[in-house]
Amino acid sequence: MTKKRHHTIPRCYLENFTDENGFVWVLDTKDNIFNIKPENVLLENHFYTITLKNGEKSLVVEDTLANIEGAYISIFENKIKNNLFLNDEERAKVSVFIAALFLRTKSHREDLRSLFSQLKNSMVDWKKQFESMSEEGKRILAATPSSGKGESIKIEDVDNYLDNLNEYHSVSTIEQLPGIAQIIFDMKWSVWTNKDNKFITSDNPVVLLRPESIKKYGPNAFGSRPGFLYKDVELTIPLSKNKLLLAGWLLNEDSYVNAPDDMVKEVNHRTIIGSSERIITKSKTEAEDIKNKYTETAYKKNIS
What are the sequence ranges of the domains in the chain? 5-140+154-303
Residue 56 CB neighbours (<10 A): 9
Give Cβ neighbours of residue 44 (< 8 Å, ≥ 6 apart).
5, 6, 8, 106
Note the pLDDT of residue 96. 98
Instruction: Write the pLDDT tens digit of every residue in 100-121.
Output: 999 999 999 998 899 888 888 8
188, 253 contact by CB (below 8 A): yes
Look up residue 72 and give its amino acid: Y
Put simply, whether the predicted model's pTM sits higher than 0.85 gets the answer: yes
% pLDDT > 70, the chain: 91
Q: Coil, strand, or helix at residue 245?
A: strand
| pLDDT on residue 301 | 42
Phi, psi values for residue 228, rounded to 5°: -60, -30
Q: For the chain, give the number of residues.
A: 304
Quote the pLDDT of residue 298: 45
Closest CA to 22 of 33, 34, 10, 14: 14
3-state secondary structure of 86: coil
Nearest to 205 by CA among 62, 103, 301: 103
pLDDT given at position 37? 98
Instruction: Round to whole Å and give the CA distance between 25 and 27.
Output: 7
Regions of the chain short of the pLDDT cut 70: 1-2, 137-138, 141-151, 295-304
Those residues whose C-beta lies under 8 Å from the C-beta of residue 58, and which sit 6 or more positions away, are: 49, 50, 51, 52
Provide the 8-state DSSP code for 192. E
